[in-house]
Amino acid sequence: MQALAEQTETKNVYDVLDFNLWYGNNQALKNISLQLKEKHVTAIIGPSGCGKSTFIKTLNLMSRLNPDIRMAGELNFRGENLLTTSMDLAELRKAVGMVFQKPNPFPKSIYENVAYGPRIHGIRKKKELDEIVESSLKGAFLWEEVKDRLNKNALSLSGGQQQRLCIARALATKPEVLLMDEPTSALDPISTTKVEELITSLRDSYTIVIVTHNMQQAARISDETAFFYMGELVEIGPTQRIFSNPEHKRTEDYVSGQFG
Ligand SMILES: Nc1ncnc2c1ncn2[C@@H]1O[C@H](COP(=O)(O)OP(=O)(O)OP(=O)(O)O)[C@@H](O)[C@H]1O
């Protein structure tokens, strides 16, 4: 009953249908069909080169930056196919924030890193910007560590703090979706734990998609897991089931560490 109630109540933010992507002649994604549920954390797992990064980058059309890429199928976001829509890219990027593997703060102050996005979207009043900076840094569990040095260069922060700053920067435009491409792979274990706790705290307010090579991480923080293999989606489902009772042998071999 509970599962049924969840199915009827949960909205899909993305509905991907028969999606294909080529880099020149090399097809990197093949007939991908899946839904990404609102306010769920979905982990994308699979061996190196299976198309995880390519997939996550298509969700905010970052892939459009590469002229060799061709895409076909449907990539519906809030019911609109991003491959044919006239939706403004800036609007899409505001709604769908992204955090990368390596922390990439701008070489500006901590404050300016977070205020950057809201400024671009027209917010000018200092008081309003101050509030956004504070709430975003609090949301990223960084406020207490930086509140007395907001004017210091962001590059003076540790790697883990820089990554949480990048998450604060993404939160500042009030996105609906957060895409994270291996956000902890460059971090030490303590910083990794902090970012994982942060993701867990954000799951009630945001739809999160995370690419990870770390099986324990996927099991700890995600609600749903999608297993990709050689450009294909092998299966997607509740994380607990994917790890304990997958439908496909290949998934079982991968999650149990037998290849990858
Ligand atoms: N910019 C690019 N130009 C051409 N081919 C690319 C490009 N980026 C990725 N590919 C190819 O697309 C396929 C999928 O790569 P992708 O980086 O998406 O895989 P991945 O699962 O994220 O790998 P990893 O875990 O190693 O990061 C690979 O065959 C790769 O060589």
- Domains, the chain, in order of start with CATH, read 11-255 (3.40.50.300)
Binding site membership of 51 for ligand 1 (Cβ less than 6 Å) = yes
pLDDT tens, N- to C-terminus, the chain (260 residues): 555 555 557 899 999 999 999 999 999 999 999 999 999 999 999 999 999 999 999 999 988 888 999 999 999 999 999 999 888 888 899 999 999 999 999 999 999 999 999 999 899 999 999 999 999 999 999 999 999 999 999 999 999 999 999 999 999 999 999 999 999 998 899 999 999 999 999 999 999 999 999 999 999 999 999 999 999 999 999 999 999 999 999 999 999 988 76
3-class SS of residue 48: coil
* CA–CA dist 163, 159 (Å, integer): 6
DSSP bridge pairs for 70: 22
- The first and second tokens of residue 234, run together, are 């092998």
Query: Which residue of 25, 44, 54, 59 sits with most ligand 1 atoms within 8 Å of its CB, as the best mutation to test the pocket?
Result: 54
* CA–CA dist 158, 17 (Å, integer): 41
Nearest CA to ligand 1 atom 5: 23
Nearest CA to ligand 1 atom 7: 23
Predicted-assembly ipTM surpassing the 0.90 threshold? yes
Judged on CB neighbours under 10 Å (0-12, 13-18, 19+), 13 is buried
* CA–CA dist 170, 166 (Å, integer): 6
Which atom of ligand 1 lies closest to the CA of 53? 22
Distance 43 CA to ligand 1 centre (A): 17
* CA–CA dist 225, 237 (Å, integer): 6
Closest CA to 71 of 17, 13, 35: 17
Total Cβ atoms within 10 A of residue 84: 9
Cα distances from 174 to residues 91, 107, 119, in angstroms, run 11, 22, 13
Q: What is the CA radius of gyration of the chain?
A: 19
